């Protein structure tokens, strides 16, 4: 059974940093693109970042570039999102998800339960 | 970025009735090279992560009941539930993946009348 377990959320002060993690099981993690998608409270979905299977290629939402860094450890089946310079606009549930892997289709077939990030002084 | 516009924002349907949700993209999602529309639909129930329903506009994800269907091409797409059940109460999102960044519609909330 495919599972994605999000962790690392919490309360952080404006300007602070936080590192989210996502541990995968039930599939060959190193074969899949992985993504982060966030959802502000009561709002819609926003793609944050995608990382290639090897981890040597990543893309980001333009508005987040430079503050967020995605990485993965294929030996530990773990995905990370390092977030810096957090503002109130970054408060959201952050989901890790798996790219389904259908040729040319960036769609997300398995999702974690999400990590809640709250930005507050 | 491609803008995805969903309508209506919310709808209330009686059990067993049909529900229709629209999604319009600001650019065509149809690639002539493979004749595929780069459009997906998700269902998000309260307190849960999204669940993939369709990709390529009408390709049903494994496990999705056949009362759900996806249709449309180019810039106009539709998600139809032919006989709404209580467990279909959720917010539904469309997503385009033809251009980076992928973008989502604002969501349509389905309730039971």
Q: Is B56 on the interface with A (CB under 8 A)?
A: yes
The two tokens of residue A76 are 């530990």
Nearest 10 degrees: CA dihedral of B39, B54, B111, A94? -70
Question: Which of A59, A108, A113, A114 has the most B C-beta neighbours within 10 Å, making it the best mutation to test the interface with B?
Answer: A108
With 0-12 / 13-18 / 19 or more C-beta atoms within 10 angstroms meaning exposed / middle / buried, residue A53 is middle
What pLDDT, on the 0 to 100 scale, is given for residue A36? 98
pLDDT-derived band at A104 (thresholds 50, 70, 90) equals: confident
State the Cα–Cα distance between residues B49 and A78, nearest whole angstrom: 19
Q: What mean pLDDT do residues B8-12 have? A: 97
Mean pLDDT of chain B: 97
Residue pointed to by tokens 């604002």: B106
* B103 Cβ under 8 Å from any chain A Cβ: yes
Give pLDDT tens digits for A53-91: 999 999 999 988 789 999 999 999 999 999 999 999 999
- B49 vs A45: CB contact, 8 Å cut-off? no
pLDDT single digits (tens) B20-75: 999 999 999 999 999 999 999 999 999 999 999 999 999 999 999 999 999 999 99
Residue A31 has phi, psi (to 5 degrees) of -95, -5
* Interface contacts A/B by beta carbons within 8 Å: 55
Distance CA B78, CA A19 (A): 38
* Distance separating alpha carbons of residues B52 and B42, to the nearest angstrom: 5
Query: Sorting pLDDT into bands at 50, 70 and 90, what band is A105?
Result: confident
Q: Cβ contact (<8 Å) for A47 and B51?
A: no
State yes or no: pLDDT of A102 exceeds 90: no
Percent of chain A with pLDDT strictly greater than 90: 93
Strand partners, A59: A50
The pLDDT of residue B47 is 95
């Amino acid at each position: 059974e495919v599972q994605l377990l999000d962790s690392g959320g919490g309360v952080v002060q404006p300007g602070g940093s936080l590192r989210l993690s996502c541990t995968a099981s039930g599939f060959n993690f190193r074969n899949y693109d992985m993504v982060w998608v966030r959802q502000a409270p009561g709002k819609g979905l926003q793609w944050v970042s995608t990382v290639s299977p090897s981890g040597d290629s990543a893309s980001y939402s333009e508005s987040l570039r430079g503050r967020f860094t995605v990485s993965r450890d294929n030996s530990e089946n773990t995905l990370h999102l390092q977030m810096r310079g957090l503002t109130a606009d970054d408060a959201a549930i952050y989901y890790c998800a798996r790219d389904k892997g259908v040729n040319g289709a960036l769609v997300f077939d398995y999702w974690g339960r999400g990590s809640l990030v709250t930005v507050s002084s | 970025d491609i803008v995805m516009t969903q309508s209506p924002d919310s709808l209330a349907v009686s059990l067993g009735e049909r529900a229709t949700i629209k999604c319009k993209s600001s650019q065509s999602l149809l690639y002539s090279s493979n004749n595929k529309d780069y459009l997906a639909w998700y269902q998000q129930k309260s307190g849960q992560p999204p669940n993939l329903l369709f990709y390529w506009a009408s390709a049903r994800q494994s496990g999705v009941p056949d009362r759900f269907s996806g249709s449309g091409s180019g810039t106009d797409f539709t998600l139809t539930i032919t006989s709404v059940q209580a467990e279909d109460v959720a917010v539904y999102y469309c997503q385009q993946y033809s251009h980076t960044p992928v973008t989502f519609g604002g969501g349509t909330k389905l309730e039971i009348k």
